[in-house]
Amino acid sequence: MVAELIDGKALVAQIKEQVAAEAKALSDGGRTPRLVAVQVGENPASKIYTNMQAKSCGSVGIEYELLNLDDNVSQDDLLARIRQLNEDPTVSGIILQMPVPKQIDARQVQVTIGPSKDVEGMGPVNMGRLFYGGQLVAPCTAVAAVELLKTAQGDLAGKEVVVVGHSEIVGKPIAMILLQSLLQSPTVTVCHVATKDLSFHTRRADVVIVAAGVSQARWGAYRRRKKAGEEVELPDLSPLVSAEMLNEGAIVIDVAINRIPKGFDANGEPLKNEKGKNAMKTVGDVDFEAAKEKVAAITPVPGGVGPVTVAMLLKNTIACAKANA
């Protein structure tokens, strides 16, 4: 058996086509959708995302503005700017770019973003609505994972679904989205890195959704301790979920994006590439090469959930624009 690759390209095209049509209708009615991204300071990784956001918005008729604030801006000043955007009738949605400097409480900023402009669906009002099943928007990555799952398995009623990871922006909302139907919901089990026997749960699952980012966390911890001068052993960067932990014919949605070294030298430093920089690779939480020989369908990393997440941001922006109109 060779697994079907769930790459999401067709789903992204479908979402963008729908978003473009709705954006045009709003614009024709004098309510052009406009997304404002708030970034505090300069961050190379964040710049990649903002460039991607700007390009994606432009392709579907959504206006995009990057509001770049100085890296020493105070919490009070940032919250004041957020409140101004909340009151601006030309702004459809607001997104806070991560990471933020130490003086900024990101959670408080998310709370301050108006629920009808919270395009990431991460504020407490939209999270609460998600629990009750009447949300305006939901966290983009969580919705992307579920929508990709539906393309591979349309009927989820009664299926055994194991979610590995319980973060506020992925694991928890995925579980809530899956449980919203009264009669068509699967049976959902939520596991995490502290689960005692993870394989017990994953082996009996029809669907495994993994969003833990374990390899990334281990690499980050190793790097910090080594930089501090501690004597540390090489980190275990092997996949969290091996092929042996999966049921034959299962569907696997790998949400994690781990950027880790390809290997280490004798001094415990990452191997270098031809340019003298750390030789890195992007992997998920699942042993993709082994798993694809056993499961029925699987998302690749990169190229699976990621592109759909960006498309869901566009869809959420339109939902907020319509609500504000």
Quote the mean pLDDT of the chain.
94
> Backbone dihedral region of 303: left (phi > 0), alpha (psi from -120 to 50 degrees) or beta?
left
Proportion of the chain above pLDDT 90, given as a percent: 86
Task: Give the β-pairing of 258-261 and 251-254.
Answer: unpaired
Is it the case that residue 72 has pLDDT exceeding 80? yes
Q: How far apart are CA 65 and CA 91, in angstroms?
A: 10
Interval 20-30 mean pLDDT: 97
For 140-304, CATH gives: 3.40.50.720
41 confidence band (pLDDT: 50, 70, 90):
confident
Residue range 29-132+309-324 forms a domain whose CATH class is alpha beta
For residues 205 and 162, the answer to whether their CB atoms sit within 8 Å is yes
Residue 1's pLDDT is 64
Positions of E strands within 105-177:
160-164
Beta carbons of 8 and 39 less than 8 angstroms apart: no
Give the DSSP letter string of 65-106: EEEEE-TT--HHHHHHHHHHHHH-TT--EEEE-S---TT--H
Query: What three-state secondary structure class fits 45?
Result: helix
Question: Model pTM greater than 0.85?
Answer: yes
Kindly tell me if the per-residue pLDDT of 48 is higher than 80. no
pLDDT digits (tens, 9 = 90+) for 271-296: 999 999 999 999 999 999 999 999 99
pLDDT per position as a tens digit, 240-272: 999 999 999 999 999 999 999 999 999 999 999
Q: What are the structure tokens assigned to 15, written together? A: 């979402």
Q: What are the boundaries of each domain within the chain?
A: 29-132+309-324, 140-304
Mean pLDDT of 124-138: 90
Given this model, what pLDDT does residue 140 score? 95
297-298 sheet: strands from edge to edge: 4-5, 297-298, 251-254, 207-210, 160-164, 187-191
Share of residues in the chain with pLDDT > 70 (%): 99
- 99 — pLDDT class (breaks 50, 70, 90): confident
